[in-house]
A and B are shown apart, each in its own frame.
Chain A
Amino acid sequence: MQLTPDDIIVFTLAGWKVNATIVNTWIVMALLVGISMLITRNLRPDVPPNRWRTALEVIVKLIQSQIEEVTRNSARHVMYFAGTLFLFIALSNLLLVIPGFSPPTSSLSTTAALALSVLVAVPVFGIASGGVRHYLKTFIEPSVIMLPFNIIGEFSRGISLAIRLYGNVMSGAVIAAILLTVAPFFFPVVMDMLGLLTGMIQAYIFAILATVYISSATADSDPSVLKKEDKS
């Protein structure tokens, strides 16, 4: 049984073992970049929008409205970051239905990299919006006694982001593989459909949590409803 696509070596390039995680990440990246470039190829005011461009605009508008609902202000940079996270995770989770394709998010390396990028983005956005003093001040709130807990919380939220995504995607793959040996005809399809739903929800949650973490570190955000729940 494969717990992670890290173990599948696709090819060896000058002594470097290129595993399935890297190749599948490249495939997802190529799909995202290629489709977006194809659609926005002639993006001029005199060209009427076709249906592909409208579809892309619907997706972007949806992401924008969701993020604005959470942060209550239009932070465009947050949208670029969290929206890209969402599109990448959602596409790689959706490609789970293709036989032989193991989603890159079912490897702990990918999810840890995504969580690390969120961990780096939180201070970057925080310092960019309110300055170093304001960002460092969030660590001694409500009092100085909370300083170690705040620092631990910063790391534990990264770990929980990574393991939540990995565990959800990996559990779907493992359960499908176990069911293939028990009831191979119909039941794995149902579990794969459940996996699609879980994959979309997890992509949404990853992006929303990244947005919540970033907006709680930035200066001009009013306390959101979700802020209390980020200590899982």
Chain B
Amino acid sequence: MTDLAIIAAISIFTAGFTIAIGAIGPALGEGRAAAAAIAAIAQQPDAAPTLSRTLFVSLAMIESTAIYCFVVAMILIFANPFWDAMLVAAGG
């Protein structure tokens, strides 16, 4: 394998691995948060506006970790600095 092929293979593998691992934690966390919020709304329907607002903010907080992983995966695939450097070195 050439250097370029090794970089491409490792980048693609790592991108998939990043989003796979990075989706597990937030998925579990969001499930727990949503379950807790639904239980709380069922107990106290009067507090539903406050609870749902807090739930939305918390969900976005939890989801942002998955979004970080997604951004890293996108960078690995579409804007990989090592790949660009290798292309420049090969062209120049």
Contacts and interface: CB of A to CB of B under 8 A. Distances in A.
B64 A167 contact: yes
Interface string B55-79: 0111011101101101100100011
Given A163-B68, A167-B64, A1 B57 contact: no
B53 A69 contact: yes
Given A3-B78, A171-B70, A232 B56 contact: no
A192 to B, nearest CB: 18
Given A69-B53, A160-B64, A202-B60, A167 B70 contact: yes
Contacts of A201: 56, 60
Given A205-B56, A225-B50, A226-B54, A167 B61 contact: no
B46 to A, nearest CB: 14
Contacts, number: 49
A88 interface: no
A90 to B, nearest CB: 14
Nearest to B56: A201
A120 to B, nearest CB: 22
Interface in B24-59: 50, 53-54, 56-58
Contacts of A204: 56
A166 B53 CA distance: 22
A105 B74 CA distance: 17
B57 A208 contact: yes
Given A201-B56, A205-B56, A1 B71 contact: no
Nearest to A3: B78
A209 B64 CA distance: 13
Contact of A163 (B62, B64, B78): B64
A171 B67 contact: yes
Interface string A139-179: 00000000000000000000010011011101100100000
Nearest to A205: B60
A225 B61 CA distance: 14
Given A3-B79, A208-B57, A229-B57, A164 B64 contact: yes
Contacts of A225: 50, 54
A170 B78 CA distance: 13
Contact of A166 (B50, B56, B60, B71): B71
B71 A232 contact: no
A232 B50 contact: no
Given A171-B67, A204-B56, 13 more contacts: A3-B79, A69-B50, A163-B64, A164-B60, A164-B67, A166-B71, A167-B70, A201-B60, A202-B60, A205-B56, A205-B57, A229-B58, A232-B61
Interface of B: 50, 53-54, 56-58, 60-62, 64-65, 67-68, 70-71, 74, 78-79
